[in-house]
Copies of this chain bind each other. A is one copy, B any other.
Amino acid sequence: MNQEPSPEQNWRHKLYVIIYEADTRAGKRFDVILLWLIVLSVVLVMLESVEEINTRYHAVFNLAEWGITVLFTVEYVARIITVRKPLGYIFSFYGLIDLLSTIPKYLSLFLVGTQVLVVFRSLRLLRVFRILKLHQYVGESQKLMNALRASRTKISVFLFAILIICVVLGTIMYLVEDRESGFTSIPKSIYWAIVTLTTVGYGDIAPQTISGQFIASFIMILGYAIIAIPTGIVTSEMTRDREDNEVFDTQSCPNCSADRHPPRAVFCYRCGTRLNP
A76 on interface, CB distance cutoff 8 Å: no
Whether the Cβ atoms of A195 and B201 lie closer than 8 Å is: yes
Of chain B, the residue at the smallest CB distance from A171 is: B122
Asked if A232 is at the interface (CB within 8 A of a chain B CB), the reply is yes
Q: A199-B200, A259-B264, A269-B269 are in contact. Are A49 and B185 (CB under 8 A)?
A: yes
| Pairwise interchain contact A223-B198, C-beta atoms closer than 8 A | yes
Contact B264 A267 (CB under 8 A): no
- The smallest beta-carbon distance between A172 and chain B, in angstroms, is 6
A27 to chain B, nearest CB (A): 22
**Which residues in A have some Cβ–Cβ distance to B below 8 Å?**
42, 45-46, 48-51, 115-116, 118-119, 122-123, 125-126, 128-129, 132, 136-137, 140-141, 143-144, 147-148, 153-160, 162, 164, 167-168, 171-172, 174-175, 184-188, 190-191, 194-204, 206, 210, 213, 216-217, 220-221, 223-225, 227-243, 246-248, 257-272, 274, 277
**Which of chain B's residues have a CB closer than 8 A to the CB of A115?**
175
Of B122, B197, B246, the contact of A167 (CB 8 Å cutoff): B122
Contacts of A247 in B (CB 8 A): 240, 243, 247
Question: Which of chain B's residues have a CB closer than 8 A to the CB of A128?
Answer: 164
Contact, CB under 8 Å: B119 / A175: yes
Q: Are A168 and B123 in contact (CB under 8 A)?
A: yes
Question: Are A194 and B168 neighbours in the complex by a CB distance under 8 Å?
Answer: no
Most buried by B among A129, A184, A186, A225: A225
Point out which of A168, A175, A264, A268 has the most chain B C-beta atoms below 10 A from its C-beta.
Answer: A264
Report the minimum CB–CB distance from A173 to chain B (whole Å).
10
Not counting A204-B206, A228-B230, A262-B269, a sample of 9 additional A-B residue pairs whose C-beta atoms are within 8 angstroms of each other reads A140-B157, A144-B229, A200-B200, A200-B223, A227-B230, A232-B238, A243-B247, A264-B269, A264-B270
Q: A226: shortest Cβ distance to chain B, in Å?
A: 8
B118 touches A140 (CB 8 A): no
Which among B51, B157, B272 is the interface contact of A267 at CB below 8 angstroms? B272
Q: How far is the CB of A255 from chain B (nearest CB, A)?
A: 11
Minimum C-beta distance from A28 to chain B (A): 19
In the complex, what residues of B have CB within 8 A of residue A158's CB? Answer: 144, 225
